[in-house]
Structure 1
Amino acid sequence: MDGAELAARLAGAYRRQAATAVRIDGLQRLSAGASAETWRFERIAGGAREPMILQRFTGEKQFTAALDKRTQGLVQRAAHDAGIATPRVDLILEAADGLGEGFVSAFVAGETLGQRITRAPELARARGQLAGQCARALADIHRMGRDGLPPLPAEQPAAMIGRLRRAHDGFGVRLPVFELAFAWLQERLPATVEQRLVHGDFRNGNFIVDGGGLVAVLDWEAAHLGDPLEDLGWMCLNAWRFGQIAQPVGGFGGREELFQAYEAATATAVDRQRVRFWEVFGTLRWGVICQWFGNQFITGEVPLIERAAIGRRVAETELDLLDLIEGVE
């Protein structure tokens, strides 16, 4: 589908759903993600221009448990309506729109590239505040009620480990460090807690930052109901530090800074050992995702060199797992 047809169908979607005459201007494709393509455009209605972002599902197979784009848009809309700092969802595509799965949200200015967030001189002041801001954003997400949310999967640690185990076994490669991590997790299953909304992929690279710090949370495709401390563990993965390994929280902050700000925002104590469980789980999960990307290249399913490069990162996750299990920083 070329840009002119896409713009026409978008305008038609607005006409059908919002009963509003809208013109689409300046449609520009941005870099495509692993499972979606992203377009920027200006929505013109009543003489007013507003920059918008369209995300469309490309039809490419996703790793297990990813939400479809419609559900992702509904979650983001509910989060925005609840006061969470996330872009306003303007339109959720329907079958009649002829554009597949997707949604349109307001454009939010700022930086999303993890390497720039951890290094850019103009973001130095922001980095000093980000860990605390992330903790408060997570607290806001975790206290959200279920009203307005679409049906979401309810996850338990044992089932999540089992699903990851089956995905790993499907590649036909047994990795001793992964076997150690699976055993470590099975021996330390945390007690059941009240399930809350979990973002599922809250990390550096999945939010927008400007000179004042955190502006907006993005990428809700892994949202589910579960243990809120899963988000804190995932936030601390070495993979999301972008080389700044001495700063466990996104390459810009310390664990205690994150935990203490979260405790202050929620008036609850953070169980450090439970967060460690989730950090080990998250590292293993990322390792299996790296296997999945690498396997797509090996089998020719997605013959892109980027997939091969991510596949090579399995070895990094093995080292990270050993360090976490042995308590090495």
Structure 2
Amino acid sequence: MMEAALSRCAACFYPGATGATGAAKLSGGASQETWSFDIVHPGGNVGAILRRAPKGYGAAPTRAAGLDAEAQLMQLAHDAGLPSPRVLHVLEPGDGLGVGFIMQRIEGETIARKILRDEAFARARPILARRLGEVAAGIHALSRAKLPALRVSTAPQEIAELEREYRGFDWPRPVFELALRWLRGHDPGPPDEVTLLHGDFRHGNLIIGPDGLRAVLDWELAHLGDPMEDLGWVCVNSWRFGEIDKPVGGFGSREELFAGYAKAGGRVDLERVNFWEVMGTLRWGVMCCGMMQRFRSGPDHAMERAMIGRRASETEIDLLRLLAPRGNSNAG
């Protein structure tokens, strides 16, 4: 059924296409469906990915940019020479596939454990942090005049939203209280420049090959705000997957990340990066608590939610390390 719908769709938007084959639903993605398939073409099959809202899925969450905006942002990044898949088609009602878009399939790996440990990526790991800095600067430099309508985020808004969500759990955690107080006391104020942010710049949303970074995926949380937010988020300890002494994704240093960012024309503000790393660590902790609440209350008692939920305690350790006086801490 899915293959037949994709065949009809491909024949309409891809010149010379005669159908689609090999349709397979991929794992991952809590709010969107992802399908891999090949567009059948006389000149050779073309690898493609369908990203769409699941059947019966309502309006996008408040923080989500929306699938149409995602497609536009990915194409803008691709056109600017950034590592992003080319968007082949934005779904229309007549396609019978719902809401979403079809993009070029980029081969590579997204699973952090493999990227950080497999020999196949040994040559890529030393160059990734600097490359991520370059790409982040490129994203932040995309012209605001070409962007779709996106939410604008400020530090006070983020603090208020986190506190509201956390209090809604009625699950007191002293370390979270400490972090909220620290964030309110260390708000660096408005940034000199408000730019486009990817919003979820980390493992899982990066396609890595033996040669390095091949694509940035999942622009669902893209928004406008302080560019240092993206740099702080990629340094959150939860994305290091055990390689705690390599703050950038478990494969590099902050200095390498910042050097790449500066080389590509970005300006790094260390105080702001630190602020957003604390914010990001707390945000992930609150998100973990949310997973546990959903597991407890049902009707979805998926064990994966419970496994993520228990990681809230890990973020408490991370927050204590980040908030400890630097002279007495070995925080990474």
In which range does the TM-score fall when normalised by the shorter chain?
over 0.9
Of 194-203 and 100-109, more deviation after overlay is shown by: 100-109
In the alignment, is residue 106 of structure 1 matched against residue 104 of structure 2? yes
Q: Structure 2: 5+ residue runs without aligned partners? A: none
**Cα pair 1:199 1:223 within 8 Å, conserved:** yes
* Matched ranges for 1:66-85 at <5 A: 66-85=64-83
- For 1:262, the equivalent position in structure 2 comes to 261
Classify 1:208/1:158 alpha carbon distance in 2 versus 1 (closer, same or farther; 3 Å): same
TM normalised by structure 2 equals 0.92
- For 2:212, the equivalent position in structure 1 comes to 213
Instruction: Tell me how many residue pairs correspond in the alignment.
Output: 324
- For 1:30, the equivalent position in structure 2 comes to 26
For residue 170 of structure 2, the aligned residue among 166, 169, 172 is 172
Partner SS for 1:125? coil
Q: Cα RMSD (Å) of the superposition? A: 1.9
In the alignment, is residue 200 of structure 1 matched against residue 199 of structure 2? yes
Q: CA deviation at 1:289?
A: 0.9
- For 1:251, the equivalent position in structure 2 comes to 250
* Matched ranges for 1:92-171 at <5 A: 92-171=90-169
Give the letter aligned to residue 196 of structure 1: T
What is the CA–CA distance in structure 2 between the aligned matches of 1:147 and 1:285, rounded to whole Å?
Answer: 30
Partner SS for 2:264? helix
What is the CA–CA distance in structure 1 between the aligned matches of 2:319 and 2:79, rounded to whole Å?
Answer: 38
**Cα pair 1:35 1:61 within 8 Å, conserved:** no
For residue 12 of structure 1, the aligned residue among 3, 8, 20 is 8
Q: CA deviation at 1:294?
A: 1.3
- For 1:57, the equivalent position in structure 2 comes to 53
What is the CA–CA distance in structure 2 between the aligned matches of 1:19 and 1:166, rounded to whole Å?
Answer: 50
Q: CA deviation at 1:301?
A: 3.5
- For 2:222, the equivalent position in structure 1 comes to 223
Give the letter aligned to residue 265 of structure 1: A
What is the CA–CA distance in structure 1 between the aligned matches of 2:266 and 2:84, rounded to whole Å?
Answer: 23
**Cα pair 1:135 1:262 within 8 Å, conserved:** yes
Q: CA deviation at 1:96?
A: 3.2
Partner SS for 1:84? coil
Give the letter aligned to residue 71 of structure 2: G
- For 2:185, the equivalent position in structure 1 comes to 187
**Cα pair 1:152 1:224 within 8 Å, conserved:** yes
What is the CA–CA distance in structure 2 between the aligned matches of 1:70 and 1:264, rounded to whole Å?
Answer: 32
For residue 306 of structure 1, the aligned residue among 298, 304, 307 is 304
What is the CA–CA distance in structure 2 between the aligned matches of 1:19 and 1:108, rounded to whole Å?
Answer: 21
Classify 1:284/1:267 alpha carbon distance in 2 versus 1 (closer, same or farther; 3 Å): closer
What is the CA–CA distance in structure 1 between the aligned matches of 2:80 and 2:177, rounded to whole Å?
Answer: 41
Q: CA deviation at 1:85?
A: 0.7
Q: CA deviation at 1:309?
A: 0.4
- For 1:39, the equivalent position in structure 2 comes to 35
Of 92-101 and 140-149, more deviation after overlay is shown by: 92-101
Partner SS for 1:244? coil
Partner SS for 1:306? helix
**Cα pair 2:16 2:42 within 8 Å, conserved:** no
Classify 1:61/1:289 alpha carbon distance in 2 versus 1 (closer, same or farther; 3 Å): farther
What is the CA–CA distance in structure 2 between the aligned matches of 1:24 and 1:102, rounded to whole Å?
Answer: 17
**Cα pair 2:232 2:277 within 8 Å, conserved:** yes
What is the CA–CA distance in structure 2 between the aligned matches of 1:73 and 1:66, rounded to whole Å?
Answer: 13
What is the CA–CA distance in structure 1 between the aligned matches of 2:122 and 2:26, rounded to whole Å?
Answer: 27
Q: Structure 1: 5+ residue runs without aligned partners? A: none
- For 1:237, the equivalent position in structure 2 comes to 236
Of 44-53 and 181-190, more deviation after overlay is shown by: 44-53
Partner SS for 2:123? helix
Q: Percent identity?
A: 46
Of 13-22 and 108-117, more deviation after overlay is shown by: 13-22
Give the letter aligned to residue 73 of structure 2: V
What is the CA–CA distance in structure 2 between the aligned matches of 1:89 and 1:258, rounded to whole Å?
Answer: 28
**Cα pair 1:247 1:253 within 8 Å, conserved:** yes
Q: CA deviation at 1:60?
A: 8.0
What is the CA–CA distance in structure 1 between the aligned matches of 2:5 and 2:179, rounded to whole Å?
Answer: 48
Q: CA deviation at 1:92?
A: 1.5
Superposed CA offset, 1:110-159 (max 9, x none): 11111111111121111110011100011111111024321111111111
TM normalised by structure 1 equals 0.93
**Cα pair 1:208 1:216 within 8 Å, conserved:** yes
Q: CA deviation at 1:97?
A: 2.5
Of 247-256 and 139-148, more deviation after overlay is shown by: 139-148
